[in-house]
Amino acid sequence: MEPVEINLGLLYLRALRADDRIDDRPAVVEGFADPDTRRWVPNYRVDDLATAGAYIARRAGEWVSDTRYSWAVADPFTGELLGEVGLKELDLTGGTAEAAIWTHPAGRGRGTASRALAAALRFGFGAIGLERVLYKHFAGNTASARVAEKCGFQLTDQVEQAVRGDGAEEQVIVRIASRC
């Protein structure tokens, strides 16, 4: 599938870009250099423009292969990158996915994550027919827990262990949202 754009009024969801009109690479590097992002998003290290370019190219390829649909969360007026939201681990046949979100420090504290994730869920349940979406977050990540609650994710009995970006092991809480 080609990337889908979603206009939320105060936010605009679009493909991550690195072209002559919009270059998200510097903001991606800044976002992943942030200590909170490093702590709570341990699976990615994006330390320079080349790595950011590869990250953006990977996201474009994931759209084409229907394995992950990710959007840049952007200011609709300036184009400034405020984060990324996505549906990963996509199983279009089984109707399942896992939600993913990170916010740039410039996008925090104003409902950016919950608005963007709610839009991604509407797309997932409405446009591509998902039946169930998981949301996983470290137990100590209270901001992520609030986003999950605002978006209607319910706690499950499932708990996993994972290593945070700072090397500490912590429980990962698993939540679920189902099509209504």
pLDDT in tens, 68-111: 999 999 999 999 999 999 999 999 999 999 999 999 999 999 99
Residue 82 Cα distances to 13, 38, 43, 163, angstroms: 10, 16, 19, 25
The three-class DSSP label of residue 151 is coil
pLDDT 10s digits, 101-135: 999 999 999 999 999 999 999 999 999 999 999 99
8 A C-beta contact, residue 90 and residue 72: no
Share the mean pLDDT of the chain.
95
- Give the SS3 label for residue 26: helix
pTM over cut 0.85: yes
